[in-house]
Chain A
Amino acid sequence: MTATLPALQTDGLGSHWTPRLEALLAAGRAAGADLVEVFLERTDHLGLLAEQDRITSVTPAFGMGAGIRVFLAGRDGFVSTNDLSDAGLNQALEQALGMLGLQRNGAVRSGFEGLPALRDFGAVKADWLPRCPALNEATLRLLEGTDQLQRHGRHLQARRGSYARDWQEVLVAASDGTFGRDVRLHQSVGLNVLAADGEHRSSVGRRYGTSGRPDDLRQWDAEASAREVCESAGTMLYADYVEAGQLPVVLANRFGGVIFHEACGHLLETTQVERGTTPFAGKVGEPIAHSAVTAIDEGLSDGAFGSLCMDDEGMEPQRTVLIENGVLQRFLSDRAGELRTGHARTGSGRRQSHTFAAASRMRNTYIAGGPHTPEELIASVDQGLYCKSMGGGSVGPTGQFNFAVEEGYLIENGQLTKPVKGATLIGEAKEVMPRISMCANDLELAAGFCGSVSGSIFVTVGQPHIKVDSITVGGR
């Protein structure tokens, strides 16, 4: 089969939009807005699903849209639309202005001097989409993955492989002179199995993702991924349920970083400061974690899922040290966060799509490596839990977080012993951060998705092996 999906129209987003954008921004300013921002987007998505040894779903999708945001005296109005015609964009602008009690008056430019030359981060990425595997090649790679699951797994009742390719072109213009364009490419591939033997069941999944690497699927090591998934499923198939209690835990590296993401990272976003829902507001310069903890959020790591050339407000990303040796250094801030909380922008204004206003969000977030070996952490625990693989989690409005342990082992007398399942870790950031007492020297990152006020975005979590002295382990 040689079918290929039609390419995107070539009439994309670029400097030819300048006159239309300038007219919109000028009209908004003339109506009295402090600042007007236009976010334009085109997307091209491909999703594939393989089950057992057959492709069972091919889901292409493409779209376009605009989000127009108007600021006035600290407030903002935001309108999104799929209609990129002049009439559609003007209607959206008028609606956003009207939300703030402003009316378009057709006056000449006022306080807006026009857009500068476009900063085009996407110019060198024009070939990214064509370089991605064509449909036929992608399906074959995915079927290779489910075949490898069959080769390496036992008692498998269901085998699934999934692939997602998300291409996004964005153009951001604002009346403060912001004018940038970028092209983003995210690809991820996942393998899942359900193993069953009598009453014993285990379901295990892993997802691997990168950004800006068209050859990612070609370079994916399907066998290594399948081995990892099957090994975990086999181990967990006969695992007992964990016994509940207050325990010391050692969290593995890579996706173990979800604990910092949920327990602390969200609370260092200015959206939480605005809401009054973070216990860390006003604590910059004060210790909020154990001195062993240094934590970073950045958008710069090559190929990482949360990396960007510019954020969704047109600002280049930074390497932001959040916590250094336990002391709070900075919050992650976007345009509205800077306006309302005074924390300077960090290139962290992110959104799922044009239908969301940008908000301060994490990018690649991780705890830095420490001096210990992973074995030293485990050896330091008499009775505890080793969390080799983490599931998802969440944090509530009072800072209470939770996350699921996909693959766990008991630690007894400093040694890993039997596998256990069904564990949930719960706690509060303020209480848990000071209990991260040891960090190992094996920092690794893992791709993930984060859902919050501005939708679901691509992020990286990460950490070395870490030890938490005590945490509530929910179980049976």
Chain B
Amino acid sequence: MSTATPGLNAEALRSRLEQLAASAGIHQWDLGAACSTDTSVQVDRGEAKQLKGAQRSSITVRVWNGDGLVGVTSTSDLSESGLARALAGARDASAYGNPDDTPAFSPLATAPLPQLDQPHHAPRGILHLLDTLKDAERQLLDRHAAIGTVPYNGLAERSSERIYLNSAGACRQQRLSTASVYLYARAEETGRKPRSAGAMRLAYGAADLDVAGCIDEAAERTISHLDYAPIDTGRYTCVFSPEAFLDLIGAFSSLFNARAILDGVSLSSRDAIGEQLAVPFLSIHDNGLHPGNVGASAFDGEGTPTQRLALLEGGVLRNFLHSEATARAFGVAPTGHAGLGAKVSVGPDWFEIGPAAGSSGGQGGLDRFQASEPIVWIDSLSALHAGVKASQGSFSLPFDGWLVKGGEARSIEAATVAGDIRQVLKAIIGFEGEAKVTPDGLCPLVWVEGLSITGEA
């Protein structure tokens, strides 16, 4: 059994909107539409636990009223009456549009789009997914006697399509197929606390998923946490895994977000371009076009092409992320990071973090297993939604990781890491190893000195 590939007919949608808008006296409008077909499976000790499918469709319509103010409405009802109601709702909401911050069409909504190498795969079908995941679970359980269950697991494939249209003739359309697998194992040894860790992989189709790599990583990480000990509270040099450092930067991405700056909730100010925010050997780019960014969008919610953008070069702030409206307010071009709304959100795509071009990259030859002092190796951060105060710069986060001492790594029982992002960016010592491609970006291991660790010892 396989699932059908969804389909949106952009020209038919445009034609319907044009007719409805004309009859409602609406002269300027744009819309974002998306539809998808998802299939996913979960297993539990060799049996199917839940098999799931979904057909979704949604549309967001914006209209500009006679005063130039913008209103928006979203719906999952793509019927004629649903579209008419969405247009009417958007027109009525436009009476409350903000005259101080009115979006317009992106000047880049008809600019050429980047060519993305995104092979489209037909879905393999749910029974294939089920067999694959059952086998993966069995292999993971077989890796160690202490691994008793894989309580969080899933294998999914998705076919999706999204469209951006506007009344000035812009027409963007992208089809995509993606697949994902995640395996989070739970292990417990007699008289010891249960431990858990996992891994995930993304690809353009289920057949391309690195399931074996996912099993290896989940097993290796879970087993590595079986032997644990409490850690003394204190200040430590910390080594962030690529995933953990990308999570941290992502949680504080309002530093680079022009919308947050205009709203007064960013640590950056609008005249901060050129400021030294970090050590001079650090660079951060946002690059949704990186080949490692599985499922990259070719355009943002306003139809602006996705691009690679320097945020920090040599530790110096170079650019902000923009929508059309924020770009206009700053006197620059949109950067392809917008959503779609009456108040347009702005967000990053996919970070590239590493040494600045031409720099030393900080302290060379870093190796946590050769360090002369105890090192806290942070594998993954938790509860970022609760423990990060983005507008203050502070964080206090639980983490999974290891204490590396004398060349040996031992899992830390339970601990938090706390600090200030501005201090972290200036306390980076250097990088270890090659940059790793993760679902959220590209990053090597990052060494940071002097962070507060709270343990239970």
Contact = CB atoms under 8 A, between A and B. Distances in A.
Interface in B70-95: 71-78, 81-82, 85-86, 88-90, 92-93, 95
Interface string B19-53: 00000000000000000000000001001111111
A78 B42 CA distance: 12
A1 interface: yes
A70 to B, nearest CB: 9
B416 A61 contact: no
Contacts of B81: 9
Given A245-B233, A472-B456, A355 B385 contact: no
Interface stretch (A95-103, A111-119, A169-177): A95-103
Interface in A61-113: 61-65, 74-83, 88, 92, 95-96, 98-100
Given A49-B343, A55-B98, A474-B398, A63 B393 contact: no
A396 interface: yes
Contacts of B265: 157-158, 194, 203
Contacts of B77: 62-64, 82
A404 B386 contact: yes
Contact of B452 (A394, A427, A476): A476
Contacts of B416: 244, 402, 424, 426, 472, 474-475
Interface stretch (A120-128, A271-279, A324-332): A271-279
Nearest to B184: A397
A401 to B, nearest CB: 9
Contact of B51 (A6, A62, A77, A274): A77
Given A63-B76, A246-B456, A277-B186, A1 B53 contact: no
A58 B341 CA distance: 9
B92 A3 contact: yes
B232 to A, nearest CB: 11
B394 A422 contact: yes
A28 to B, nearest CB: 15
Interface stretch (B54-62, B111-119, B329-337, B432-440): B54-62
Contacts of B95: 1, 3
A474 B396 contact: yes
B382 interface: yes
Contacts of A194: 264-265, 391
A396 B185 CA distance: 12
A201 interface: yes
Interface in B255-277: 263-265
A81 B52 CA distance: 11
A81 B55 contact: yes
Contacts of A398: 186, 193-196
A403 interface: yes
Contact of B76 (A60, A82, A100, A277): A82
B151 A80 contact: no
B30 to A, nearest CB: 16
B92 A4 contact: yes
A317 B9 CA distance: 44
Interface-central residue, B81, B90, B93, B383, by most chain A CB under 10 Å? B383
A399 interface: yes
A99 B52 CA distance: 8
Nearest to A75: B48
Contacts of A158: 263-265, 391
B74 A75 contact: no
Interface residues of B, number: 78
Nearest to A98: B1
A59 B74 contact: yes
A4 B57 CA distance: 26
B151 A54 contact: no
B151 A203 contact: no
Given A63-B76, A393-B386, A424-B398, A276 B186 contact: yes
A6 B92 contact: yes
B100 interface: yes
A305 B342 CA distance: 28
A250 interface: no
Given A55-B96, A59-B74, A244-B233, A428 B193 contact: yes
Contacts of A9: 81, 85
A423 interface: yes
B194 A472 contact: no
B126 interface: yes
Given A98-B126, A357-B52, A392 B386 contact: yes
Contact of B53 (A80, A402, A421): A80
Given A80-B55, A474-B416, A244 B151 contact: no
Interface-central residue, A139, A397, A400, A404, by most chain B CB under 10 Å? A397
Interface string B362-400: 000000000000000000001101110101111011100
A391 interface: yes
A403 B385 CA distance: 10
A404 B52 contact: no
B250 interface: no
A294 B50 CA distance: 34
B68 interface: no
Nearest to B186: A397
A3 B414 CA distance: 54
Contact of A61 (B74, B383, B393, B397): B74
A203 B184 CA distance: 34
Contact of A79 (B53, B73, B383, B394): B53
A158 B392 CA distance: 13
Contact of A403 (B1, B90, B386): B386
A135 interface: yes
B72 A99 contact: no
A244 B454 contact: yes
Contacts of B419: 476
B254 to A, nearest CB: 11
Nearest to B452: A476
A67 to B, nearest CB: 9
B173 interface: no
Interface string A145-188: 00000000000011000000000000000000000000000000
A5 B92 contact: yes
B149 A275 contact: yes
A391 B386 contact: yes
A194 B261 CA distance: 13
Nearest to A423: B396
A121 to B, nearest CB: 24
Interface in B126-174: 126, 148-149, 151-152
Nearest to A77: B51
Interface-central residue, A1, A98, A400, A474, by most chain B CB under 10 Å? A474
Contacts of B195: 398
A79 B151 contact: no
B54 A79 contact: yes
Nearest to A88: B55
Interface string B188-205: 000001111000000000
A34 interface: no
B220 interface: no
B51 A80 contact: no
Contact of B398 (A135, A277, A402): A402
A92 B55 contact: yes
A76 B385 contact: no
A61 B36 CA distance: 19
19 contacts: A6-B88, A49-B343, A58-B97, A59-B341, A82-B76, A82-B78, A158-B264, A158-B265, A201-B391, A275-B149, A276-B149, A276-B186, A355-B54, A394-B383, A424-B397, A424-B454, A475-B418, A475-B454, A476-B452
Going nearest first, the 8 A-B pairs with the smallest beta carbon separation are A474-B416, A244-B454, A63-B76, A99-B51, A392-B386, A275-B151, A474-B454, A61-B74
Given A75-B50, A78-B50, A398-B195, 7 more contacts: A61-B75, A82-B56, A82-B76, A157-B265, A244-B416, A397-B186, A402-B398
